[in-house]
Chains A and B, each alone.
Chain A
Amino acid sequence: MTARLYNYDLDVDCYRVRLVASVVGLPLELVGLDVFPGHDHLTDAMLALNPARRLPVLVDGDLVLTQVPAILWHVASQAGAALVPAAPAAMLEWLSFAAGDLACATAARNASMLGQGDPVAPRAAARAALRRLDDHMVRAGIAGQGYVAGDTLTLADLALFPAFALSRDFGVDHDEFAALRLWARRVRTVPGFITMPGIPDYH
């Protein structure tokens, strides 16, 4: 049975799920919701699925997943283990970073583009997190590794990519992140790569 993704095209976390599904070649049944301004995610039926009032939600049989790392993991593992290395600790570190330390990037973007809250603090936090990621990729590059958790693309790269690719939307330019520019360019070349509104499709 095809897993069902409750999806909003402009939501960054929904994009993360579509991106991973596209790269591993797993078909998803997309249920399109209008979050803004429709608030489709706040209907009783949706709140029963996810009381946390946010997307994405993935339903696969009896399984209901609302946490992005768990959804990404599930999607990737349904289609073989290509994006999940045998020793997954380093990947988990950066997958957690994407969902934790970098969550402020989504907050900064929503504040800048939708006027949801003050963008100053989340923007500074997101810039600091991107700087840490850039420092990491500098060292990875010296070790000859092109991706965040080694020399092959993993779930973590795909989870991290949108925050960097969309950072200009919340006023953080790519100028200072030379190592991330090279890495993002590499991520874009993976077969099955897709974009979302706000990420130009030119490479």
Chain B
Amino acid sequence: MTPDIWLPLALTTAIETGTSAGTAIDGTEIAVWRDVAGRVHTWEDRCPHRGMKLSFGFVRGDHIACLYHGWQYDAAGQCRYIPAHPDLEVPKSICVKTWPVAEAGGMVWVWLGAGALVPAPDLPQAVALRSLYLDCPLSRVVALLEGGSPLGGAAQVDGAVARVGALVIGLQSVAPGRSALHITVAGAPTEAELTTLTHKAEALRRVAERVEAAA
């Protein structure tokens, strides 16, 4: 069961205008893409035609086109154009599953829950450090963060957000045994501070994966 909370899945800077990327939350594959007007979309990462990942596709204006046979979907997920049948009025039934999306605190958030939508997380603007992918379950990373990790002292964890010092970290459970941290920094960090933080983030990944390999 997916919880009724907003879940982070990327840094906003990682999804440039006119591009798409794939990710997953607990194994649910999600295409994240940004149309040329700058609006971000979070869809099921599966083309209704033959199941190709839509995140492999390419953005054309406010449509995304599947890499495989070029079917094009509008911003609502509705198929609008089938190259092999250019004159066809595409049936309404051909559409992609879409989920509510928000951008806050330098991250992209998705709502996979079945319950009533709540407002997106209220986070101040922050500087993106990086997304860090780890080969271990999110629970292990969270335990490390809460106990004090290379990133600093004991983190405060609230839902899908961890805070430690100036860091505000989005927590993503990608799949069993795989997780991602979307790390942002509040305030105005210097280049040297950010570089130091990237080394600390890699150290955290080493510790987490070492513990996981030993477990």
A39 at the interface (CB under 8 A from B): no
B23 at the interface (CB under 8 A from A): yes
Q: Provided the pairs A175-B22, A175-B24 are in contact, do residues A200 and B67 lie with their beta carbons within 8 angstroms?
A: yes
A53 at the interface (CB under 8 A from B): no
Tell me which residues across on chain B come within 8 A of A196, comparing CB atoms. Answer: none
Pick the 6 closest A-B CB pairs, nearest first: A178-B14, A176-B133, A202-B58, A138-B130, A142-B194, A175-B22
Partner of B21, one of A142, A181, A202: A181
Tell me which residues across on chain B come within 8 A of A203, comparing CB atoms. Answer: 58
Contact code string B1-32 (vs A, CB < 8 Å = 1, else 0): 00000000011001010010111100000000
- Further contacts, 10 of them, CB under 8 A, given A138-B130, A178-B11, A181-B14: A139-B198, A142-B129, A142-B194, A143-B195, A168-B56, A175-B21, A176-B133, A176-B180, A200-B56, A202-B58
Partner of A175, one of B23, B130, B195: B23
B191 at the interface (CB under 8 A from A): yes
Residues of A146-203 at the interface with B, using a CB-CB cut-off of 8 Å, are 168, 173-176, 178-179, 181-182, 185, 200, 202-203
B131 at the interface (CB under 8 A from A): yes
Can you list 13 A-B pairs, Cβ within 8 angstroms, ordered by A? Answer: A135-B198, A142-B129, A142-B191, A142-B198, A143-B195, A168-B56, A175-B23, A175-B24, A179-B130, A181-B21, A185-B16, A200-B56, A202-B67
Closest to A138 in B: B130
Contact code string B173-196 (vs A, CB < 8 Å = 1, else 0): 000000010000000000100110
Give the complex CA separation of A176 and B10 in angstroms.
10
Q: Give the Cβ gap from B66 to chain A, nearest Cβ, in Å.
A: 11
User: Which residues of B does A touch, CB under 8 Å?
Assistant: 10-11, 14, 16, 19, 21-24, 56, 58, 67, 129-131, 133, 180, 191, 194-195, 198, 202
User: Which residues of A does B touch, CB under 8 Å?
Assistant: 135, 138-139, 142-144, 168, 173-176, 178-179, 181-182, 185, 200, 202-203
Taking a contact as CB atoms under 8 Å apart, the answer to whether B194 and A173 are in contact is no
Tell me which residues across on chain A come within 8 A of B14, comparing CB atoms. Answer: 178, 181-182
Give the complex CA separation of A129 and B197 in angstroms.
21
